[in-house]
A and B are shown apart, each in its own frame.
Chain A
Amino acid sequence: MPLLTESFWLWQFLGRLHPMLVHFPVGLLCVALLLEIVGLLRKSTELRAGITALVWIGTGSAIAAAVLGLLLVNQDSYAGATVTTHQWLGLTTMTLAILTATALTTRQISLYRGLLTLTIVGVSATGHYGAMVTHGDDYLSSVLPSGKQPVALSTTKFAFASTGQPLDEKQVSQLNLEVRSILAHNCYSCHGANKAKGGLRLDTQAFVLKGGEDGPVLVAGFPEKSDLIRRVKLPAGHDDAMPTKGKRLTDSEIALLEFWIKQGAPWPVGPEKSLYRVAALEPRTPALPAAPADLNNPIDRFVNVYFQQHKIAWKAPVDDRTYIRRVYLDVIGLLPSPEEVDRFSTDNQPDKRKRMVQELLNRNADYAQHWLTFWNDALRNDYSGTGYITGGRFDITNWLYTSLKANKPYNQFVRELISPTKQSAGFIKGIQWRGTINASQRTEMQAAQNVSQVLLGLNLKCASCHDSFISDWKLTDAYAFANVFSDTTLEINRCDKPTGKMAGRKIIFEQLGTINGQAPTAERLRQLADFMVQPKNGRLYRTVVNRVWAQTMGRGLVEPVDVMDNEPWSQDLLDWLATDFVANHYNIRALISTILTSRTYQLPSVALKDADLLTSPNFVFQGMVRRRLTAEQFADAVSAVFSPVYPDSAVVAKVFPKQIKREIPFARAVFVKNDPFLTALGRPNRETVSTSRSSQANLLQALELTNGTQFNTALNRAAKQWLTTYPTATELVKRLYLKSLGREPNFKESAVAQQIIGASPGIEGVQDLIWAISLHPEFQLIY
């Protein structure tokens, strides 16, 4: 593991001597063993003096090699299983060498011979892994007759390449796709729609055949006469070599291009297949897989198939205490009280978990107060922020809260966001700054971008400035969609420069319907809303079920949750959830209920060592991914368990329905304006859409929690109250644990806690104990 970013040259220099120095132990110790064998055969010890020298020098160099090796791995960027194996083998071998030398010196000859042999085995294995690090995993095996493979086209995909048969239509299309993919990744940045160096573009058939200023780049059927092949084969640094920037093409990529030209550089007629993964738009209903009788929740049956494929065994569900804490936090955002935990644990009915979820989901106001945070982030809604003082922004709080409380069906919810009433208009109205702004940030384009991102998991931001480099979306698509939201016809701007062309009007996925471009804006928005919420818009519903899944399971079926074209870890499960959601009348609470009552949700939580693993394409699902409480959950937990963090006066009541003050148990953090405390804990400033929060702690946050006034004042108040209620140390510690962590302290914890607050507890001691508990990982995590 590298310790530091860039290192002092001497360490790096010494480290890089490692590959040279390692040959000493290899050579010396091998010769030592050889001579030992010779001596053994001759039954003589005359070589022993030489052998002893060899063993000692060999051992010394082994130690030196190991030290330099450790320097190297810390200084340069090495990582991976091979390096780790090499490292441990090396250290083991070094230890063996030392033992060998010791045995030899102390004249334990048989032991020494055994150890020397072991050392040689170790040296060989270490050397082998070392070679794999420097020369590649297949350094040895690639030259073996069985390991030798013809260059490229060997993949099963292009098995047809070697048959010599003419290609069929499907094969041509596949070959062409591969070729375009190579050109896109290596050539488009200079020879594409945005730049045509040397007059050459390689992004369409016509341009490829036309060539550039220096003439044609390929001669169909003759790769050897094609300039394109000549140039990619030239050594780097040659004036004509391509690409001039970035990595060189691999041998297999070149071979593929050659094969394609030899075939006559075929280009299929009709619509081209996309270079990018594009998720299906239409819904799909996968059949429910068969499963053992105890897995009757459909989610579990799909997960069961996934587990079988990945050889993962079902673990036992979590205990009652863990479960009730999870569902409380996921449904209403609050911790269960000790009494509620008790009642739940002692309930003996088999359906108690289902009932608990239902009871929580029925708490309309509490549910709305938790989920409001998520939707505020996603819909960029806040009670303060840029634009409000200049009338360039409108909040949708009242509408949003009321909708969540009433569990408004999601199709209706989306309809009202897109074709809004005055109350819900803030989302598509965007944020208007005074003065001229970049064309890609006009409010109509903000509407197109935000509707795409939040509701469809689609990134239209690139295409709102120029044709996208990361998808097939074009500038004209983005403008046509933005134009639907516009009272006047938008002029297309490319990279903030007017093009003179006027935008059309169409929905981003044309298959969903045709917008009447002549209709007034309100009518157009009604049409758009109707088209968007149709059951056949599978993407809308996949996007929302994936978001709810991510909120409750710590990670989406698709990640990032805003890129719904990415591959889900279970397509069947995602598709089933989406169609079931539609069949259940777009009922978000029913969806949450299905998830929370599944065996899958009840699996023990999974710990990730690195935040990056969360969005890694290699992610393997094994259960809920552990999360940290959100800023709001944490503040509410402190408020409910210890003492309110916010006074009632902090609630921004005027943007909520009139009866709001009667509906809130205390000043929950979702109702207050953003402040340094909440910011430090991860509440975003809602200038832009935000659909996930980081679980990682950092220094600024820790400082806020360590000496921030807001937090410490609340703790001080809490200490006074607790001390009045529980004057004895034992009882106080026990109650604190029960209320905050849902369990009694163990013996050691109790001792530590009591030691701090003393036999006759004072405010300071109690405050410090409350502080320590509220920063305890067990309090901070949803596990």
Chain B
Amino acid sequence: MKANWNRREFLQKTSAATLAALAASAPVASLLSGCGRGAKPGQTNGTADTVILLWMAGGMAHTETFDPKKYTPFETGMEGNRVLSTFKSVPTALDGIHFSDGLQAIGGVMDKGTLIRSYVAADMGHILHSRHQYHWHTCYEPPQTVAAPHLGAWIAKELGPKNPVIPAFVDIGQRFTVGEAEELKAFHTAGFLGHEFGPFFIPDPSQGLESVRPPVGMNTRRFERRNQLYNDLINSGPVGEFGSDYQKESLKRSMEQAYRLLNSPEAKAFDLSNEPKASYDTYNTGKFGLGCLLARRLTEQGARFISVTTEYEPFKGWDTHENGHTRLEAMKKQIDGPVAQLIKDLDKTGHLDRTLVILASEFSRDMMVEGRPDAKVLEQVNQPDILSDLKFYGMHRHFTDGCSILMFGGGIKKGFVYGKTADERPCKTVEHPVRIDGIHQTIYHALGLPPDTHYDVEKRPFYSTPDGLGKPVMDLLT
């Protein structure tokens, strides 16, 4: 594997972990780390230093959330084709822009961000959540001959941690014990970049502290003593006889760094019980809301890439195959308050300036169309044309031709709307289609990473977006 520019060549030889350890240990190094690419430690030469991805797992219908169409209330025996939205529209902070009822809080902060209404997901012949999620997160359609890295892993590899004691890629909220777990694991990975740049999992944000504190039942004193003993034992043994090698050195260095993290003041950021009650309650709409709170706390301490998910589990969350309308009321309650609060809090503390927050989903949904209007795919949902029961009232089919994405902060335009979908079914993208490589490159651009970032794997270049062709959507950036 050979990198294509000097900085990366260096990062490849001296892993991010090494750098972090250096910065954390030697005073000279920490002095120099203050003289990094930007003016402050961990700063990039782009417009953002941190990325938070708020993942709406399972397919979030655009017409029921950020791109509402004509509302038709439920009547028994109504024609499904008449229904474009099952909620009323409500105004937002932006003139003439409406959201679906239940998203008033997020609507209230839209003056701080950009709304994309024209994301077009890939057409992969057969709608499969895990496959589309794989594609969204890696920018590559599975399967691949080379293990493709997650967006967060590219960022961790290229930029390293922002604060040496906070892992560069933190993944909050996804358990791997639920359905399609293996397919999820396939893209929650650093792939060929190496495990070092992979996700640090916090499946339950309220248990965040568990991941970064000494093992259960071990107090700080004992933890310190154990570490001391470890070092003493190594120093008293004949290990020196074996000479110096990278395995041993990297082991000692990593252990040292793990010890630092588990013992650092920053680790308190993982502990949500330190949050003032009023603020905690605002965020506490459940696991996702607390995930947003954890993301905010980690951002304040210097996180690089954080993903917070509503969690993908087949037929749960946004994956509505029936009762779409009623279930979406609950989903909106889960996200509306915390997402808006996250933006407000980051804005208030000034972190939003250099933190890019993205809210997205693998595709959208529709009541009638499965897949793309012009493409025939396997029917997966039993959706009658005549709605005999409230449970059929909702967006139960998978729709790839028009999805909404929100972006805030880190150099993204404020109060801006990009792209458009049709007002009549099929509600597909009619202006400025945006594809996944454009989204990834916009994120990379904000982080100051060039679009042709690549590594040679088995002598072939593997780019951050396929063939290095993706381009940032410059219209979204200030």
Contact = CB atoms under 8 A, between A and B. Distances in A.
B141 A707 contact: no
A685 B147 contact: yes
Nearest to B2: A612
Contacts of B261: 699, 703
A518 B469 CA distance: 41
B247 A626 contact: yes
Nearest to B194: A694
A213 to B, nearest CB: 26
B36 interface: yes
Nearest to A768: B226
A705 B222 CA distance: 16
B185 interface: yes
A756 B225 contact: yes
B46 interface: no
A727 interface: no
Nearest to B459: A470
Given A685-B186, A687-B186, A77 B253 contact: no
B36 A4 contact: yes
A196 interface: no
Contacts of B253: 697
A266 interface: no
Interface string B328-360: 000000000000000000000000000000000
B460 A679 contact: no
Contacts of B34: 8
Interface in A481-504: none
A676 B201 contact: yes
B302 to A, nearest CB: 15
Contacts of B234: 776-777
B239 A437 contact: no
Interface string A81-99: 0000000000000000000
A775 B237 contact: no
Contacts of A607: 242-245, 248
Interface in B206-241: 211-216, 218, 222, 225-226, 229-230, 232-234, 236-239
B215 to A, nearest CB: 4
A433 interface: yes
B147 to A, nearest CB: 5
Interface in B280-302: none
B278 interface: no
A349 B275 CA distance: 70
A480 B244 CA distance: 49
A772 to B, nearest CB: 4
B144 A7 contact: no
Contact of A449 (B17, B131, B145): B145
A291 interface: no
B10 A77 contact: yes
B12 to A, nearest CB: 8
Contacts, number: 257
A608 B123 CA distance: 48
A572 interface: no
Contact of B13 (A612, A698, A783): A612
A385 interface: yes
Interface stretch (A128-136, A228-236, A745-753): A745-753
Contacts of B6: 77
Contact of A768 (B11, B124, B225, B257): B225
Nearest to A625: B245
A752 B229 contact: yes
Contacts of A753: 229, 233
Contact of B11 (A5, A386, A708): A5
A778 interface: yes
B254 interface: yes
A316 interface: no
B454 to A, nearest CB: 14
A775 B255 contact: yes
B10 A701 contact: no
A712 B200 contact: no
B220 to A, nearest CB: 13
Q: Which residue, of B211, B213, B232, has the highest number of chain A Cβ atoms within 10 A?
A: B232
A462 B461 CA distance: 10
A697 B194 CA distance: 11
B242 A680 contact: no
A701 B34 CA distance: 27
Nearest to A773: B233
Given A685-B147, A699-B196, A781-B242, A756 B182 contact: no
B246 A611 contact: yes
A696 B247 contact: yes
A435 interface: yes
Contacts of B215: 706-709, 712
A6 B246 contact: no
B195 A679 contact: yes
B68 interface: no
Given A3-B28, A7-B32, A687 B143 contact: yes
A449 B144 CA distance: 12
Given A77-B10, A768-B222, A434 B131 contact: yes
Q: Which residue, of A6, A449, A699, A756, has the highest number of chain B Cβ atoms within 10 A?
A: A699
Contact of B214 (A449, A679, A707): A707
Given A611-B246, A685-B147, A696-B246, A776 B32 contact: no
A470 B460 contact: yes
Given A2-B10, A772-B230, A700 B200 contact: yes
A775 B216 CA distance: 19
Interface in A384-420: 384-389
Contacts of A701: 195, 254
B183 A386 contact: yes
Given A437-B141, A773-B233, A8 B35 contact: yes
A713 B242 CA distance: 31
Given A436-B125, A695-B247, A461 B142 contact: no
A628 B28 CA distance: 32
A386 B142 CA distance: 10
A462 B251 contact: no
A687 B185 CA distance: 10
A748 B33 contact: no
B180 A777 contact: no
Interface in A364-389: 384-389
A746 B246 contact: no
Contacts of A8: 32, 34-36
B81 interface: no
A703 B229 contact: no
B22 to A, nearest CB: 7
A609 interface: yes
A469 B188 CA distance: 31
Nearest to A440: B145
B37 A699 contact: no
B222 A781 contact: no
Nearest to B28: A3
A560 B458 CA distance: 9
B250 A698 contact: yes
A780 B251 contact: yes
Contacts of B316: none
B9 to A, nearest CB: 8
Given A4-B29, A8-B35, A706 B258 contact: yes
A778 B143 CA distance: 40
17 contacts: A8-B34, A8-B36, A10-B35, A386-B186, A679-B195, A682-B195, A685-B186, A688-B144, A698-B194, A699-B20, A700-B167, A702-B257, A707-B258, A708-B215, A746-B238, A775-B251, A777-B251
Interface of A: 2-8, 10-11, 74, 77, 384-389, 431, 433-438, 440-441, 446, 449, 459, 461-462, 464, 470, 560, 562-563, 605, 607-612, 626-628, 676, 679-680, 682, 684-685, 687-688, 694-703, 705-709, 712, 746, 748-749, 751-753, 756, 764, 768-769, 771-773, 775-778, 780-781, 783
Given A4-B19, A699-B261, A776-B237, 4 more contacts: A8-B36, A697-B247, A699-B258, A706-B259
What are the 5 A-B residue pairs with the smallest beta carbon separation, nearest first? A8-B35, A435-B126, A436-B125, A607-B245, A698-B196
